[in-house]
Chain A
Amino acid sequence: EVQLVESGGGLVQPGRSLKLSCAASGFTYSNYVMAWVRQAPTKGLEWVASISIGGGNTYYRDSVKGRFTISRDNAKNTLYLQIDSLRTEDTATYYCAGRDYNKYIYYFDYWGQGVMVTVSS
């Protein structure tokens, strides 16, 4: 069974840092382009960052560049998102999601259950 399990969320003050993790199982993780997608309360989906299968290439939306760092450990089948200088507008459920690199299908086959990040003083 495919599983993506996020952890590390919580209530954080503005300006502080947080590191999210996503543990993958049930599929060949190292073949998957991974990403973080967030959803603010009652809002739509917003892509945040992606990372290539080897981890050498990373991509970010403009509003998080310089504050968010995506990384992966293929030996541990785990995806990470380091979030620094948190802002109230970063409040959202953060989903990790994966796309099979070997299939030329450019959407996310697998999604985690999401982890909530609340930024508030």
Chain B
Amino acid sequence: EIVLTQSPTTIAASPGEKVTITCRASSSVSYMYWYQQKPGASPKPWIYDTSKLASGVPNRFSGSGSGTSYSLTINTMETEDAATYYCQQWSSTPLTFGSGTKLESK
């Protein structure tokens, strides 16, 4: 099973600040996927194929990486971006998720 380790676990950012969340895989994966989840809501697809934004995702978000190291970046933080972000891989079964990064707005 591929283990995905996200860091940091929690981060607080001010509006306008740049934010980077990292996801490291225990083995190489072809692509990384990301979801956004707000309290009491279902996860939303956010980034697919490592760097492509899902429909409706603001372009201040970006994704990058390869092999075992991937990241999600917010170029300029906005208060509405406060949420928990999960990475996910499906290069091998079982599909696995990272443990999540909680992003708070200062």
Are A and B interaction partners? yes
Contact, CB under 8 Å: B97 / A108: no
Determine whether the beta carbon of B48 is less than 8 Å from that of A105: yes
In the bound complex, CA of A105 to CA of B83 (Å): 23
A46 to B98, CA, bound (A): 9
Q: In the complex, how many residue pairs between chain A and chain B have their CB atoms under 8 Å apart?
A: 49
Q: Which of B44, B45, B100 contacts A44 (CB 8 A)?
A: B100
Chain B CB count within 10 A is highest, among A47, A50, A95, A113, for A47
Q: Are A111 and B44 in contact (CB under 8 A)?
A: yes
Of B45, B86, B94, which one neighbours A59 at CB under 8 angstroms?
A: B94
A1 within 8 A of B: no
Q: Does residue A14 face the partner (Cβ distance < 8 Å to B)?
A: no
A1 CB → nearest B CB, Å: 14
CB of B43 within 8 Å of the partner chain: yes
B98, A50: Cβ atoms closer than 8 Å? no
Give A97-115 as 1s and 0s: 1 = Cβ < 8 Å from B's Cβ atoms. Answer: 0000000011111011110
Contact of B45 among A37, A62, A107 (CB under 8 A): A107
Interface size of B in residues (CB-CB distance below 8 Å): 22
Given contacts A45-B97, A47-B94, A47-B97, A111 and B48 within 8 Å (CB-CB): no
Check if B33 sits within 8 Å of A106, measured CB to CB: yes
A105 to B95 alpha-carbon distance, docked (Å): 13
Complex CA distance for A27 and B17, rounded to whole angstroms = 38
Within 8 Å CB of B35, what residues of A?
A: 45, 107
Given the complex, which residues of A lie within 8 Å of B44, measured CB to CB?
111
A51–B31 Cα gap in the complex (Å)? 21
A44-B48 contact given A106-B31, A106-B33, A111-B43, CB 8 Å threshold? no
B59 within 8 A of A: no
A residues in contact with B48, CB < 8 Å: 105, 107
Partner of A50, one of B86, B88, B95, B99: B95
Contact A47 B96 (CB under 8 A): yes
Q: How far is the CA of A113 from the CA of B86 in the complex (A)?
A: 17
Q: Which 4 residue pairs spanning A and B have beta carbons closest together?
A: A106-B90, A107-B33, A111-B42, A45-B97
